Amino acid sequence: MTQPPPAAPAPQPAVPLSEAEDRQWASFAHLGGILSILPSLIIFLVFKDRGTFTRQESKEALNFQITILIAEIVLGIVGTILSVALLFVTYGGSSIFGGLGWIAWLIGLIFSIIAFTKAKDGIAYRYPFNFRFIK
């Protein structure tokens, strides 16, 4: 008679971050906004249960990056529509409206750097405009 395989060991709880590591990962979540949504998402998913400051700040950064991504898409669509409309009016002239998405990217870059400097000092940062998708 065969014996059943041994039960898998219970997963170990995540090791809590030290205060310095907590501030470091929280600030990296904001700074990752320079590269768009992915760094903030990864830091939120990996470290949310290991540090309260990291959970709070990575959630704030992730919500802001989602907001900026939506703004980039909307401005890109509006800019394309304006470019096409202007193209028909000017009979082939170039348009400055084609790439309005860069405005949202630039705003995201500036606020991500400001948030990084605050978070690295241990100060919680709230973006001046941010949809709170993740509660």
Identify whether the C-beta of residue 84 lies closer than 8 Å to the C-beta of residue 97: no
Instruction: Specify if 106 maps to a domain.
Output: yes
Identify the band that residue 66 occupies on the pLDDT scale cut at 50, 70 and 90. very high
Whether the model clears a pTM of 0.75, i.e. scores above it, the answer is yes
pLDDT of residue 133: 84
Residue 91 has pLDDT above 70, yes or no: no
User: Helices 101-120 and 52-90 sit at what angle, rounded to 10 degrees?
Assistant: 160
Give the domain range for residue 58. 19-120
Query: Taking Cα atoms as reference points, which of 9, 116, 20, 126 lies closest to residue 64?
Result: 126
Q: At what angle do helices 37-47 and 52-90 cross, to 10 degrees?
A: 160
- Quick one: DSSP state of residue 119? H
Report residue 16's pLDDT band, with 50, 70 and 90 as the boundaries: confident
pLDDT value at position 76? 81
> How does DSSP classify residue 128?
S
Residue 14 lies in a domain: no
Q: 113 in a domain, yes or no?
A: yes
- Whether residue 94 lies inside any domain: the answer is yes
Query: Does 63 or 84 have the greater pLDDT score?
Result: 63
Number of domains in the chain: 1
Residue 9 lies in a domain: no
* Residue of 44 and 97 predicted with greater confidence: 44
Residue 131 within any structural domain of the chain: no
